[in-house]
């Protein structure tokens, strides 16, 4: 059957297993007003998706870069009524994985971790993303000198090769 929701969710009322409520109809006086229902339904099921956050250590390089591959930690909660069934993530568009604990991302360059949780009632959180940059290899600087060294002038070309996708 179809139900029409007539108000917003009511939350924070305590344990739904022991929740009691009543209906009072009043015109503001102690009259004998009455409310009649064929029947009504109270739905105490979990209809709210879990919420997950990602945390990383402070970057140890310049301008927000990581020189050391960071560990990503995912924390998920589902409020008073829910129970998180699983948290899933993918790194740089790769295969979806089930989260079982902190993981390290060492790919050089810009990395994107996408993550979301599903609760026991099968409510699925919208996918979230965290982006960060890793460059664990220092550039290899080189100075190339050309021109007559005894009389000059000399031309100096500076190069800095970086062998990975980092900065």
6-24 pLDDT, tens per residue?
A: 777 767 777 766 777 666 6
Among 120, 44, 36, CA closest to 76: 120
CA-based torsion, 66, 71, 72, 77: positive or negative: negative
3-state secondary structure of 64: helix
Q: Rounded distance, CA 133 to CA 111, Å?
A: 6
User: Residue 40 pLDDT more than 80?
Assistant: no
Q: pTM for this structure?
A: 0.69
DSSP state, 17? Answer: T
Q: Rounded distance, CA 161 to CA 164, Å?
A: 9
Distance from the Cα of residue 132 to its chain's centroid: 13
User: Average of pLDDT values for 107-130?
Assistant: 96
- Let me know the angle formed at the C-alpha of 88 by 129 and 122, rounded to the nearest 5 degrees: 110
pLDDT tens-digit readout, 54-89: 999 999 999 999 999 999 999 999 987 789 999 999
**Predicted local confidence at residue 97, as pLDDT:** 98
User: Average of pLDDT values for 130-151?
Assistant: 87
User: Residue 27 pLDDT more than 70?
Assistant: no
């Amino acid at each position: 059957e179809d139900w029409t929701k007539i108000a917003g969710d009511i939350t924070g009322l305590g344990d739904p297993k022991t929740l009691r409520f009543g209906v009072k109809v009043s015109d503001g006086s102690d009259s004998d007003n009455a409310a009649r229902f064929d029947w009504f339904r109270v739905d105490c099921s979990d209809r709210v998706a879990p919420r997950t956050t990602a945390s990383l250590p402070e970057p140890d390089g310049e301008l927000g870069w990581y020189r050391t591959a960071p560990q990503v930690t995912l924390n998920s909660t589902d409020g008073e009524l829910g129970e998180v069934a699983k948290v899933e993530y993918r790194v740089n568009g790769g295969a979806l994985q089930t989260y079982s604990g902190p993981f390290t991302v060492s790919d050089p360059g810009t990395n994107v971790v996408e993550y979301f949780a599903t609760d026991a009632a099968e409510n699925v959180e919208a996918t979230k993303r965290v982006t960060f940059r890793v460059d664990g290899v220092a550039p290899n600087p080189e100075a190339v000198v050309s021109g007559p060294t005894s009389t000059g002038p000399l031309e100096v070309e500076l190069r800095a090769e970086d062998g990975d996708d980092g900065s």
